[in-house]
Structure 1
Amino acid sequence: MKSRWLVVALAAAATAPDLHGQSGSTTGLGPDTVTTTPSGRYPANGLHRLLLGDLNRDLWAVPVSAPVLDLRRFAGGLSPLRRGGGLQTQSLRLRGQDGQTYNFRSIDKDATRGLDPMLQNSLPARVLQDQIGALFPLSAMVVAPLLEAAGVLHPNPRLVVLPDDPLLGEFREEFGGLLGWLEVRPDEGPDGEPGFAGSTRIVGSPRLLERLEESPLEQVDAQAYLRARLLDVFVGDWDRHPDQWRWASFERGDTVSWYPIPRDRDWALSRLDGALVYVAGRYFSHYRGFGPEYEPAFNATFTGRALDRRILTRLDRADFLRTAEDLQHALSDDVIADAVSRLPSTYQAEVGEGLAAAFTRRRDRLLSFAGEYYELLAGWVDLYGTDEEELALVEHTGGGRTRVRLFHLIRNEPAPDPYLDRTFLESETQEIRIFLHGDEDRVEIRGTNPSDIVVRAIGGGGDDEFLDESTGTSVFHDHRGDNEFTGALGSAFDEDDWEEPPDQFSATHQSKARDWGSWTLGYPVFSYNSDEGFYLGAGFRRDTYGFRHYPYERRLTGRAVFGPAVGRARGSLGFDFPVHGRAVRGFFSGYASGREVVRFFGFGNDTQITGEDDFYQFTRDEVRLELELTGTPSDHVVLRAGPTFHFVDHDDVVEQRLIGQIQPYGLDRFAQFGLGAGIAWDRRDHPLVPRSGWLLEAEGHVTPSLADVETTYGSGSAFARWYTHGDGRLEPLFGLRLGAEQVWGRAPYHSAAYLGGPGSSLGVREHRFAGDRVVQAGATGSIFLTPFYLFLPGKLGLHAISETGRVWLDGESPGGWHASYGGGLWVSLVNDHTLVSFTIARSEDRTGLYFGLGWPL
């Protein structure tokens, strides 16, 4: 409670330099008032609203009145300095004669400003701009009194119109007449004087993290930050990445405490609905709107995870619940009513009653949300040391408890009191990561009591000492310095170098890549082919993240579909998992089909097509299982090996087909086990749309005489691809492919060496020729024709392809080489790596149409 009143006092002090503190009046806001609407560009018809949502569109058209700012009188006179940052907001920084710096931020946003210039006039850009209609235009007006009541440091924004005034200079055309928020910029005082709210220093998040790393004497007030984060969630503001904060320091003797100053309330009180918005929200988990009920803690807090996992991990469940309960008292009915009453009467008439009811409901459920929020952060915990010499003492104390303390070392002896002390419960926490930084550090893990919590200690640049005397699971990571490791039975040591990858979910790239929890995505599946008609079903992907596994530790995928016309189903399952650290991974894949359409034209290089297509076509049930281990001895080389299982069962109708007349080995119910191995050496510049480089692949497979296999047989194959390109307007590209496959021993027909189809020879029917050996070659060329714009910017080009191949059977290959040739168009959208090719290819007995991602060769 003491911390709360300190924060309240600081927040009260913050009103001195802000707009409300300007002599307690509106001096300088000008005598003129303008009545306008925040924006008129978000109207939509019924279909538009169905797809992209009602959002807060109607509020953008509600008129509001705002005073015109007097640049000559306000703050003794304002002079524009420069444009502010931000990806979407028009902002202007101004300097007052009172010594303060002020920020002006437009209410309406330009969602295209952060996009690639090629995309700024595209359909996606228009959709993004339309989504700005989800914002509550005057949210800052409501949030400010709630921050005040909660005791969170903040500047108070004031709704103004910038004048069309020559004093704006070069900024007049862009900012003159613009409606927006004006607020003091939290900053340090001149010449060592107290700054914003009496603070000593004001910094942004990157500098804050640097200072926290430099000394244990500087710490963030975690409870003050928790109050601010709970208030974020209370108002539905999910856009809380590190750049949305500034930090004020206050000296307390030898220590420095940092307090958060949240800024930019654009997404508070937003409304998100509509069919496409719902779909987008399944992938962008944080993209959720404000309402009477809370979103899950994962969604509501996701963009704040970088700072949450750095600051809040020193707090336990009791701290979370105590802070939430305190906030519930602070956000009384009167406070809520006052916040809503700050809105203009036109807004109150539209949303006032519903907004107050939503706030009341969310306040009453804040305690429950705080518990969920705590549990989200408690599962995988990051604790951080500093660049000073330190001792990390971990004790498994029994009863499922693990205590972690961090001490500053003074002349190699721990300080009397730790600067971090927290006890973790194995019922809540799976893993603790202790990040040590510079200088010489010690880690001691003690306790004979069993614990299910994995403890990781990550050393820094100094010569560190790691000692494990516990019976738990401990992992020490350090590849720098001259380190000393002393382990127990459950200890492991990792001295591999590790470069932290970027966070693929972070727009500002200020978060580290996700290494905790899991994420599941479900999606519908739809397919069609002329043989079987439509297949409908669903699929899923579940990624599980782990420490120093990127982009995931484990991935489980699956899909199942049903064909109404044929009354059969098929499905697949895949599992990608680590086997030995990051060096060796396992891949399991399974496929089962109740109706697999197959064509067989007989054995040999000169088989003829004399009947209708149905004569060569049949169906079979099929099951394929593979378990593969992969290793990466270098960045470009992948080794793989593992067992396989294959089962087929043919329909009775095969008796009426060519395959039924030939009766090849493997036609009946047939099961086989095998073992395969391979290597890939990939030096292409892109795996799907390469323009230079090469790929070498080789693999072998042996199938022993088990199950239905009469005699052991084997196979081997090798393929090479090479690409090069030229400069100039046409951007010419040339590619070659060479490949061969050999089968040894008596193999079932479905394990023969085949020629024909995508990946083998376009234009030639799939599996057109079968034998025990195949050799094939191909070449492709491509040129760029013209850029185009059709909803998205793109490129259009031409490509040509020529391929040839032949098979051998028992050393014979009558009929010569089977050539195919063709060409078509390719289209790339946005960038060269999103390329789709359309190809018409001709062979001796057919012409085929193909399309797919990437080059056709």
Structure 2
Amino acid sequence: MKKLLLGLGVLVLVFLVMTYFSLSSTSKSFKTCEILELPDVDHINFRDYDSVLVAASTLYEGNGVKTIMQGEQYRKAWSTPVKVPILFLNKMEGKVTIMEEGGGKQTHSLKLRLENGVLMTLRSVTKDPSPLVPKVAETLGIENIIVDGISAQHPYAALVVAKLSDTAGILNTRPKLVFVPKQEQLAKYNDKFGNRLFLLEYETEGNAQWLKLKNVDSLIDTDNLQKLKIKGSNKVVLNSEALVKARLFDLLIGDWDRHAKQWGWALENKGDSFLATPLPCDRDNAFFNLEGILPTLMSNNVFLPEVQSFENEIDFLPGLISSFDIYFMRGIPRTTFKNEAEKLQLLLTDEVIEESFSVWPESIFELDGKELISKIKHRRNQLVEYAGQFYDQLDKSEKLTTALKGSEDIEMTNEEMECFDCVDN
């Protein structure tokens, strides 16, 4: 017994030592992209160049201990330099106006208005997780677990997802990778947003001209769609087939973070009603790859059932059912789920999936492309089965008793809060 206890004590000690060295190997909580071949960045005239060689972030570079304790994840993709076009706002088509600074808890963003009224956003590729770090983590010196967790996100996933979405007939924000140097047009935003790597993409609200869809002239966020439904001035009908297809597509690409604020809606004027078609945005967690001892211990089906790594098979589908799904999709027939899964299987052939990764630089594809392609194909082949499981989970779920994320300020009756079609207009 003494030898057993001694052995366990040694194992615990080794674990604690390895944990300490792993967590102490990152000295910063946030770092922007690293520009290569141009050492004196502040004195470079970027107007003399059309592109720049940039590494998204070298913050997540690891060593042997970190790889064991916190996983390999996408560290190499973050630190591998890629050639990116340079963007000056005054070179965009028409006059561009910076409307406001935005972003969620990790992403820095700037909302732009084009001369034709269309809204676009610059979303930072590098993330700032500091708002997510609780005080207790800082006190215990383990904030690096949260900081380093960004390496589980692929910096260029959104580009592939957009191309796949086009083939699948799913609306998307059409992101493009750009480098934004410091420039006069950024004005007061230069210090925070200058010399950084961004995804330039369309917004999920405002003018829908860029979609080029017949009778679709406006986009609204989820909370405004709810207000329109409750107001009842015009009948609002949900494009349930498009929504089911979009959510099954999320399962296909392993995007587990799909709360209500990550959706816009294209409103098609039907004369006496509007047809609302979903427009997904924010693909930070597509292809999410969580590895290592510490992240595996922290994310599990009990405490964080929604946080799931992108593998050949879905680990725990019930954990992927969100309040958003219950509110909008509970009551949609099982046949719709089956039909949309079969459509996706037909549309997303092996050739289409492989071609979607052509948007990546060769250096990034060599790191992660083949493995991700294999996983997408594997999930596609099981999509009808997943669709049935998704329906079963929704069918036995309880109606909501609280508002969706971002809709907390809307005045709603209990019935209006339960589900989208619980509102009779």
Task: Name the structure with the higher strand share.
Answer: 1
Cα distance, 1:119 vs. partner?
Answer: 6.3
Asked if residue 292 in structure 1 is aligned to residue 312 in structure 2, the reply is yes
Provide the TM-score with structure 1 as the length reference.
0.40
Q: In the alignment, residue 298 of structure 1 is paired with which amino acid?
A: P
Task: Name the structure with the higher helix share.
Answer: 2
Whose radius of gyration is greater, 1 or 2? 1
> What residue number does 2:333 align with?
316
Runs (5+) with no aligned partner, structure 2? 1-46, 410-417, 419-425
Asked if residue 209 in structure 1 is aligned to residue 229 in structure 2, the reply is no
Residue pair 1:188, 1:195 contacting (<8 A) in 2 also: no
Cα distance, 1:76 vs. partner?
Answer: 2.2
Cα distance, 1:165 vs. partner?
Answer: 1.0
Provide the TM-score with structure 2 as the length reference.
0.78
Runs (5+) with no aligned partner, structure 1? 1-28, 383-432, 434-499, 512-547, 549-857
> What residue number does 2:38 align with?
none
Please say which of residues 348-357 and 173-182 is displaced more in the overlay: 348-357
CA distance, structure 2, for counterparts of residue 69 and residue 232 of structure 1:
30
Q: In the alignment, residue 314 of structure 2 is paired with which amino acid?
A: Y
CA distance, structure 2, for counterparts of residue 159 and residue 89 of structure 1:
15
CA distance, structure 1, for counterparts of residue 96 and residue 83 of structure 2:
22
Identity of aligned residues (%): 28
Asked if residue 352 in structure 1 is aligned to residue 372 in structure 2, the reply is no
Cα distance, 1:108 vs. partner?
Answer: 1.1
> What residue number does 1:101 align with?
119
Residue pair 1:83, 1:91 contacting (<8 A) in 2 also: yes
Q: What are the Cα deviations for residues 78-118 of structure 1, in whole angstroms up to 9, with x where unaligned?
A: 33222113111011112223432220011110111245678
CA distance, structure 1, for counterparts of residue 206 and residue 403 of structure 2:
32
> What residue number does 1:365 align with?
382
Cα distance, 1:30 vs. partner?
Answer: 9.0
> What residue number does 1:64 align with?
82
> What residue number does 1:449 align with?
none
Residue pair 1:203, 1:247 contacting (<8 A) in 2 also: yes
How do 1:397-546 residues align onto structure 2 when only pairs under 5 Å count? none
Q: Give the superposed CA RMSD.
A: 2.6
Asked if residue 334 in structure 1 is aligned to residue 354 in structure 2, the reply is no
Q: In the alignment, residue 67 of structure 2 is paired with which amino acid?
A: R
Cα distance, 1:202 vs. partner?
Answer: 1.8
| 1:234 partner SS | helix
Aligned residues: 359
Residue pair 1:336, 1:356 contacting (<8 A) in 2 also: yes
Cα distance, 1:367 vs. partner?
Answer: 0.9
Q: In the alignment, residue 94 of structure 2 is paired with which amino acid?
A: G
Q: In the alignment, residue 210 of structure 1 is paired with which amino acid?
A: K
Residue pair 1:103, 1:182 contacting (<8 A) in 2 also: yes
CA distance, structure 2, for counterparts of residue 166 and residue 240 of structure 1:
36
CA distance, structure 2, for counterparts of residue 297 and residue 349 of structure 1:
30
Q: In the alignment, residue 112 of structure 1 is paired with which amino acid?
A: S
Q: In the alignment, residue 310 of structure 2 is paired with which amino acid?
A: F
| 2:328 partner SS | helix
| 1:269 partner SS | coil
2:257 to 239, 245, 251: 239
CA distance, structure 1, for counterparts of residue 365 and residue 160 of structure 2:
11
> What residue number does 2:50 align with?
32
Q: In the alignment, residue 388 of structure 2 is paired with which amino acid?
A: G
> Which one scores higher on RCO, CA 8 angstroms, separation ≥ 6?
2
| 1:367 partner SS | helix
Q: In the alignment, residue 321 of structure 1 is paired with which amino acid?
A: K
How do 1:453-852 residues align onto structure 2 when only pairs under 5 Å count? none
Asked if residue 248 in structure 1 is aligned to residue 284 in structure 2, the reply is no
> What residue number does 1:222 align with?
240
Cα distance, 1:121 vs. partner?
Answer: 8.2
Residue pair 2:263, 2:280 contacting (<8 A) in 1 also: yes
CA distance, structure 2, for counterparts of residue 377 and residue 228 of structure 1:
16
Cα distance, 1:197 vs. partner?
Answer: 4.0
Cα distance, 1:320 vs. partner?
Answer: 0.6
Distance 1:501 1:366, change over 3 A: closer
CA distance, structure 2, for counterparts of residue 510 and residue 272 of structure 1:
31
| 2:206 partner SS | coil
Residue pair 1:202, 1:249 contacting (<8 A) in 2 also: yes
CA distance, structure 1, for counterparts of residue 113 and residue 228 of structure 2:
28
Distance 1:64 1:120, change over 3 A: farther
Q: In the alignment, residue 336 of structure 2 is paired with which amino acid?
A: D
> What residue number does 1:128 align with?
146
Cα distance, 1:63 vs. partner?
Answer: 1.2
Residue pair 2:172, 2:281 contacting (<8 A) in 1 also: yes
Please say which of residues 159-168 and 204-213 is displaced more in the overlay: 204-213
